């Protein structure tokens, strides 16, 4: 297989072979070019979770923006320079993706997964972590969410509703964690530093190191 040769390793997973094979077939059929793929790969490699951190920090400090973000995440992202419709400037499958932000509250904790493959909000969180793509996480989270979150160190009382949101080709989700107490008066830049990728997936909570204050 050309896909196998492209990886250059004997240790190849079936998913890597499938991805490369579908990519080569798509290029052959004219769905996109090798140059299109190169540009998208370079864009994806340089996107990190800072976009999502900016969104949450702004929502924590601006009630009107928070309302817009929760009502239409796809449009609200443009206010901080993130355009889901055209992330590379050339038009991509993201033209048809809708982005939803899920607000955590004292009564509800949200967490995201993609059970079919590894759909992920890359324009705001960058590339997904390896564990997010594993069958172990994808299968178990929807069946035993509390048990899986406990493995990440999160333990919730029975009166907290844990909600699992399954991403797909049309919809991407991101969690807005609760703002920690004692951060009143912090700037957006200060807040963004405690909003990590895992808090926006829903497997962690924002942590404040008060000893460093």
Condensed to tens digits (0 to 9), the pLDDT of residues 125-138 reads 988 888 998 889 99
**Catalytic residue list contains 117:** yes
Task: Check 119, 128, 167, 171 and give the catalytic one.
Answer: 119
Task: Check 26, 118, 128, 171 and give the catalytic one.
Answer: 118
Token duo for residue 134? 């594993």
More confident residue, 152 or 210: 152
- The residues with which 109 forms a beta bridge, in sequence order, are 162
Whether the per-residue pLDDT at 89 is higher than 80: the answer is no
What is the tens place of the pLDDT at every residue in 191-207?
999 999 999 999 999 99
3-class DSSP state of 176? strand
Token duo for residue 188? 């957006």
DSSP state of 128: P
DSSP state of 87: T
User: First vs last Cα of the chain: how many Å apart?
Assistant: 56
More confident residue, 87 or 62: 62
Average pLDDT over residues 72-99: 72
Could you tell me what percent of the chain has a pLDDT over 70? 82
Tell me if 125 sits within 8 A of 82, measured CB to CB: no
What is the tens place of the pLDDT at every residue in 154-181?
999 999 999 999 998 889 999 999 999 9
Token duo for residue 12? 């190849």
What is the tens place of the pLDDT at every residue in 20-55?
888 888 888 888 888 887 777 766 666 679 999 999
Degrees to nearest 5, angle at CA 134 with 127 and 203: 70
What does the alpha-carbon distance between residue 137 and residue 176 come to, in Å, rounded to a whole number?
21
Q: What is the pLDDT of residue 161?
A: 98
What does the alpha-carbon distance between residue 124 and residue 131 come to, in Å, rounded to a whole number?
18
**Catalytic residue list contains 77:** no
The pairing of strands 108-113 and 161-166 is parallel
Using alpha carbons, select from 102, 105, 103 the residue that is nearest to residue 167: 102
pLDDT band at 1 (very low <50, low <70, confident <90, very high): very low
Q: What is the pLDDT of residue 150?
A: 96
What does the alpha-carbon distance between residue 151 and residue 67 come to, in Å, rounded to a whole number?
33
Task: Check 53, 77, 114, 167 and give the catalytic one.
Answer: 114
Task: Check 117, 158, 167, 213 and give the catalytic one.
Answer: 117
In the block, tokens 């460093």 appear at 212
Q: What is the pLDDT of residue 15?
A: 66
**Catalytic residue list contains 114:** yes
Determine if residue 86 is left, alpha or beta; phi over 0 gives left, psi from -120 to 50 gives alpha, anything else beta. Answer: beta
Q: Whole-prediction pTM value? A: 0.78
What does the alpha-carbon distance between residue 1 and residue 20 come to, in Å, rounded to a whole number?
10
Phi, psi of 162 (to 5 degrees): -90, 120
Q: What is the pLDDT of residue 94?
A: 47
Mean pLDDT of the chain: 85
Q: What is the pLDDT of residue 91?
A: 42
What does the alpha-carbon distance between residue 6 and residue 27 come to, in Å, rounded to a whole number?
15
């Amino acid at each position: 297989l050309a896909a196998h040769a492209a990886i250059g390793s004997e240790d190849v997973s079936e998913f890597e072979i499938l991805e490369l094979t579908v990519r080569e077939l798509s290029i052959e059929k004219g769905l996109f070019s090798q140059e299109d793929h190169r540009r998208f790969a370079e864009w994806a490699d340089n996107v990190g979770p800072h976009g999502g951190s900016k969104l949450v920090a702004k929502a924590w400090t601006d009630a009107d923006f928070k309302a817009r973000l929760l009502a239409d995440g796809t449009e609200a992202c443009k206010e901080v320079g993130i355009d889901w419709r055209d992330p590379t400037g050339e038009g991509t499958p993201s033209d048809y993706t809708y982005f939803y932000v899920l607000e955590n509250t004292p009564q509800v904790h949200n967490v995201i997964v993609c059970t079919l493959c590894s759909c992920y909000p890359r324009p705001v969180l960058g590339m997904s972590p390896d564990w997010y793509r594993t069958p172990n996480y994808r299968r178990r989270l929807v069946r035993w969410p509390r048990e899986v979150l406990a493995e990440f160190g999160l333990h919730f009382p029975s009166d907290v509703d844990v909600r699992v949101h399954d991403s797909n080709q049309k919809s991407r989700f991101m969690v807005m964690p609760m703002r920690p107490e004692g951060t009143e008066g912090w700037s957006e830049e200060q807040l963004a530093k405690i909003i990590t990728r895992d808090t926006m997936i829903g497997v962690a909570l924002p942590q404040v190191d008060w000893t460093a204050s």
